Amino acid sequence: MRWLAGIGATLMAIGLLLPASPASMGAPSVWLSAPSALACAWLAVLAAIAAAAPIARPPGGPFARLVGVVGALVLAAGRIGRLVGGRVALLGSLMLGAALPLLVVANHPAIGLSLPGLWLYLVGLALVAWGSMEILAEQATGRGPLMLAAPLLFGIWLLYVWEVAVVGFGVPQILLPAPHQIGHQLFSQAALLWSDFHQTFLKAVLAGWAAGCGLGFLVAVLIDRVPFLQRGLLPLGNLVSAVPVVGVAPIMVMWFGFDWPSKAAVIVVMTFFPMLINTIAGLAQVDATGRDMMQAYGASYWQTFFKLRLPSALPFIFNALKINSTLAMIGAIVAEFFGSPIAGMGFRISVEVARMNVDVVWATIAVAALAGTLFYWLIALLERGLTFWHPSYREWIQANEREAIHE
């Protein structure tokens, strides 16, 4: 962490002092367009120095006189780093230093490489962000709220760099809109995006996902009960899974019409085989000792199934449910390209691309990504609640506890 903070502080300081190109209006005037942010940037440099070299007690007067005011500030930063801790200082450096690039590119759009110090400063800030993510990852525990801190900071940092780079280099909106433009469409087109979300996710995705997973589970149980079906149905399932969605979607539209049932049918085809294979594999992964014990007690097939084999297969089943949650969203959006009413995420993407409204397209993609992520997270949360007893989950918890004790 200290070497990241040290290099980051050095690059940030050099970037702030680096002159602008002769064709520009000059680095001081650009930096001074945001004076408060500039002051915070220099405080961020000192905070990064404090994180890199916390000093318990600064040397005496001769050293301070030798290096002058800069040395005194560095020593003061080191003393502060000792008092508040290097980790707090590094996180503070990131928060203090993030405002300046945003304000500079907002006041001077498309400034590009005429101010090279800005991009050098951004590289240094990236190293500070890297160190901050390492801190949050080290502090995270397996079941604590800090578990989400590092991924959340990483996502925010990606959006931040995206914003600064697109606005700073003047990238045309039709190629890549800035995050603030996408966010504006998320709010201004909220009613339209909700209608598309309702049509695609709440109708097609949920119905197709439930039907496909349920059908795959039932067929897997049937194959397990009647073993000779495995030689006939599994090759057929392999054949169906190999058919691309762009080949299935037009057929389903012809069969079930342009509304959401045809998209749900495409999702059923896509999600059936992963559930079938995972359930069969899970039912086969039963401890021989447990099977022999159930036979010794004279348990029937269904008693053994519900009390031994199905609980043992739950990790495999939930693995298929999580895989299918993403496949269902992809299948529904692609299927809407081949025929849809006047609502739907896939319909919105195709229409707005034709209108060159790329910011609306990205807003729709953001809604789809957020919905898919939350759907996956809810399934994973349900999995933890139902498989807390499974050896694989206990081993994961024990590994996290050992890491926490070691730290």
- Which residue in the block uniquely carries the two structure tokens 């760099």? 161
Q: Residue 21 gets which letter from DSSP?
A: P
Collapsing DSSP states into helix, strand and coil, what is residue 1?
Answer: coil
pLDDT score at 96:
87
Residue pair 320/171 in contact by the 8 Å Cβ criterion: no
How far is it, in rounded angstroms, from Cα 159 to Cα 369? 15
Alpha-carbon torsion (7, 12, 16, 20), positive or negative: positive
pLDDT score at 27:
55
Q: Residue 300 gets which letter from DSSP?
A: -
Domain boundaries, the chain: 2-171, 187-406
- For 159, other C-beta atoms within 10 Å of its C-beta total 14
How far is it, in rounded angstroms, from Cα 400 to Cα 393? 11
Residue of 89, 90, 173 lying closest to 127 (CA atoms):
90
CATH superfamily assigned to domain 187-406: MetI-like (1.10.3720.10)
Residue of 321, 332, 334 lying closest to 375 (CA atoms):
321
How far is it, in rounded angstroms, from Cα 156 to Cα 152? 6
pLDDT score at 85:
52
Read off the tokens for 364: 């729709």
How far is it, in rounded angstroms, from Cα 284 to Cα 351? 47
**Consecutive H or E run containing 227:** none
Residue of 39, 47, 38, 138 lying closest to 88 (CA atoms):
47
Tens-binned pLDDT, residue by residue, of the chain (407 aa)? 677 888 888 888 888 887 655 555 555 667 667 788 888 888 888 888 877 765 434 444 444 444 444 444 444 444 444 444 557 777 888 888 888 899 988 888 888 888 888 899 999 999 998 888 888 877 765 555 667 788 888 999 999 999 999 999 989 988 899 999 999 999 999 999 999 999 999 999 999 999 999 999 998 888 888 777 767 677 776 777 777 777 788 888 888 888 888 899 999 988 988 899 899 888 888 777 777 677 777 777 787 778 778 888 888 999 999 999 999 999 899 888 887 777 889 889 988 888 888 999 999 999 999 999 999 999 988 988 887 766 666 655 555 555 545 54
